[in-house]
Structure 1
């Protein structure tokens, strides 16, 4: 039996026996639990949900011709970092270094994530001061910063954490300023972050 035939059989079986609703692996269509891994798709510059067996296939960074990279799980809380030197005018933002040396900053909004290009030289100077930033994996890890209200939190997190935060904010946003439901969601999100390697 060919690999394509086996994959088609798995997809059909998952469709018959899987739940009617819920997330599915975006590679093989198997149902995925609420807590599941993600792949960064460099061609789409986004993340894809994957089941455990498909995630294992991409533990090597060269798998899939390098198009897909498994998003790591590492979270590290950092000391206060003066990110104002990066020229981003918002207090809730995440910075994603790219393989080509560029860095993008993204902040949540009612329409999704807003995006800015960050001065690469300013990022390198900041990484010289904070070596943890230089250890970040391009495209799949982010520096997540919250300096809004009384918060002053800085984390290295998997990029899917950032997208989860953006989705939660977008879901709760009301009116021009976000309304009263957004900031409790942000507080709950940051309270739920725990360090892990």
Structure 2
């Protein structure tokens, strides 16, 4: 499944479609998957794939699948405010994903999906020196999720599938040029419902 495919499914799910309307299946073995299920990140295709719990166990180690797939972790960690202004990204709702090759990308939601920027690697290294938790992030599959829109000050380390859910939410709720009345309350609810987990 492409990232756009995963995004489309998240949008349909968020819109209230029932599981019986379109049953989800593991993208490795085709077994049915529960509403809440693990994900793999396909490094080569840069795609998130839905998997069942038995298949996810096969990818618990990073070297599994010849390194092509990484199991998306479940960890969520709330952080104190992180000064992301030093990264030069001009938006207040954004997530930062470190990559295996040492680069870092920033992605922000928009009505058309995620916008993407490359972040200065040296600036990211300076930030991780200030916030050691950022250095613990698993490349490709964990992100620093930030929301400083409308007076909020939310900073989290989350799995990338949480970020894709947030992008889908913004895309679904956005109306007109400014987003309309529903998008920002929906984003605030999204962050209010995040819970820490290890």
User: TM-score, with normalisation over the residues of structure 2?
Assistant: 0.88
Q: Is the 8 A contact 1:172 1:178 kept in 2?
A: yes
Q: Give the C-alpha shift of residue 43 in structure 1.
A: 1.0
- 1:92 aligned onto 2:93: yes
Cα displacement (A) at 1:178: 1.1
SS in 2 for 1:53: helix
Distance in 2, matches of 1:127 and 1:145, equals 15
Task: Assess if the C-alpha contact under 8 Å between 1:95 and 1:104 holds in 2.
Answer: yes
TM-score by length of 1: 0.89
Gaps of 5+ in 1: 1-17
Q: How much has 1:185 moved relative to structure 2?
A: 1.1
1:55 aligns with 2:56: yes
**Deviations 1:43-88, CA, capped at 9 Å, x for gaps:** 1112111111111111111111110010000010000111000000
Per the alignment, residue 69 of structure 2 pairs with: 68
**Match of residue 109 from structure 2:** 108
Counterpart-to-counterpart distance in 1, 2:167 and 2:80: 23
Structure-2 residue corresponding to 1:167: 168
How many equivalent residue pairs?
Answer: 180
- What residue is the counterpart of 1:25 in the other structure? 26
Higher RCO (CA < 8 A, seq sep 6+): 2
CA shift for structure 1 position 22 = 2.2
SS in 2 for 1:149: helix
Q: How far 1:112 sits from its partner (Å)?
A: 0.5
Give distance in 2, aligned partners of 1:97 and 1:135.
10
* Unpaired segments ≥5 residues, structure 2: 1-18
Tell me what 2:6 maps to: none
- CA apart distance, 1:19: 5.1
Counterpart of 1:187 in structure 2 is 188
Distance 2:24 2:175 in 1: 26
Q: 1:141-180 maps to which residues of 2 (within 5 A)? A: 141-180=142-181
Aligned 8 A contact 1:19 1:31 in 2: no
- Once residues 109 and 27 of structure 1 are traced to their aligned partners in structure 2, the CA distance between those partners, rounded to angstroms, is 31
